[in-house]
Chain A
Amino acid sequence: MTTQSLKWVAQRRLTFTFMLLGAVIVLFILVPLAKTIFSSSPSLLWATLLDREVLSSIWLTIYTALIATVVGLVFGVPLAYFLARHDFRGKRFVEALIDIPIVMPHTAAGIALLFVFGQKFLVGRAFHAIGIDFVLSVPGIVIAMLFVSVPFLIDSAKDGFGKVDQRLENVARTLGASPWQAFFRVSMPLAKGSIFGGSVMMWARGLSEFGAVLVLCSYPAIAPILVYTRLEEYGLRYALPVASILIIICVVVFVALRSLAYRRRKA
Chain B
Amino acid sequence: MIEIRNLTVDLGSFLLRDVNLTVEKGEYFIILGPTGAGKTILLESIAGLYPIRSGQIWLEGREVTRLEPEKRGIGFVYQDYVLFPHLSVKDNLTFGLRQRRRPKEEVQRTAEWVGDLLGVNHLLERRPDTLSGGERQKVALARALSVSPQVLLLDEPLSALDPQTREGVQQELRRLHQRLQPTIIHVTHDFEEAIALGDRIAVLNEGRILQVGTPEEIFRQPNSEFVARFSLTRNIFAGDVRQGADESTLFAIDNTEFEVVTVLRGRLHASIRPEDILVSREPVVSSARNRLKGTIAAVADRGSTVNLTVSTPLDFVCLVTRRSFDEMDLQKGGEVYITFKASSVHVF
Please give the residue numbers on chain A whose beta carbons come within 8 Å of chain B beta carbons, in ascending order. Answer: 165, 167-168, 170-178, 181, 185-186, 189-190
Out of A173, A181, A189, which one reaches B86, CB within 8 Å?
A: A189
> What residues of chain A lie closer than 8 Å to B48, measured between beta carbons?
173
Contact B76 A168 (CB under 8 A): no
C-alpha spacing A190/B70, complex, angstroms: 21
**Known contacts being A175-B147, A176-B99, is A170 close to B44, with CB within 8 Å?**
yes
- Distance, CA A178 to CA B98, complexed state (A): 12
Q: Is the CB of A176 within 8 A of B100?
A: yes
Cα separation A173 to B44 with both chains bound (whole Å): 11
Q: Tell me how far the C-beta of B185 lies from the nearest C-beta in chain A, rounded to whole angstroms.
A: 13
Which residues on A sit within 8 Å (CB–CB) of B84? 168, 171-172, 186
Q: List 19 A-B contacts (CB under 8 A).
A: A167-B82, A170-B44, A170-B49, A170-B82, A171-B143, A172-B95, A173-B68, A173-B69, A174-B144, A175-B75, A176-B96, A176-B97, A176-B99, A176-B100, A177-B95, A178-B68, A185-B99, A186-B84, A189-B86
Residue B78 at the chain A interface, CB threshold 8 Å: yes
Given A167-B82, A170-B76, A189-B86, check contact A175 B44 (CB 8 Å): no
- Interface hits, B123-137 → A, CB 8 Å: none
Residue B72 at the chain A interface, CB threshold 8 Å? yes
In whole angstroms, what is the CA distance A167 to B99 when docked?
17
Known: A172-B95, A173-B69, A175-B146. 5 other contacts (CB 8 A): A174-B70, A176-B99, A177-B96, A178-B99, A186-B84
A56 to B29, CA, bound (A): 71
Residues on the B chain within 8 Å of A186, using CB? 84
Interface residue from B68, B85, B86, B96 paired with A175 (Cβ < 8 Å)? B96
Contact check, A176 vs B82: say whether CB atoms are below 8 A apart: no
Question: Is B47's beta carbon under 8 Å from chain A?
Answer: yes
Partner of A174, one of B75, B85, B86, B100: B75
Within 8 A of A (CB), among B118-162: 143-144, 146-147, 149
CB contacts between A and B, total, < 8 Å: 63
Q: Which of B75-127 contact A (CB under 8 A)?
A: 75-76, 78, 82, 84-86, 95-97, 99-100
Query: Which residues of chain A have C-beta atoms less than 8 A from B169's C-beta?
Result: none
Which interface residue of B69, B72, B82 has the most chain A CB atoms within 10 A? B69
Neighbouring B residues of A177 by C-beta, 8 Å: 70, 95-96, 99
For A168, A171, A173, A178, the residue with the greatest tally of chain B CB atoms inside 10 Å of its CB is A171
Report yes or no: B49 in contact with A176, Cβ–Cβ below 8 A. Answer: no
Q: Are B49 and A190 in contact (CB under 8 A)?
A: no
Considering the chains assembled together, what is the distance between the CA atoms of A170 and B43 in angstroms? 12
Judge whether B76 and A171 touch: CB under 8 Å. yes
Partner of B82, one of A171, A181, A185, A189: A171
Residues of B within 8 A of A185 (CB): 95, 99
Bound state CA distance, A13 and B82, in angstroms? 47
Q: Would you call A181 and B99 a contact (CB within 8 A)?
A: yes
Q: How far is the CA of A168 from the CA of B143 in the complex (A)?
A: 13
Q: Which B residues are in CB contact (< 8 Å) with A176? A: 70, 96-97, 99-100, 147
A263, B317: Cα distance in complex, Å: 62
Task: Looking at the assembled complex, report how far the CB atom of B44 sits from the nearest CB atom of chain A, in whole angstroms.
Answer: 7
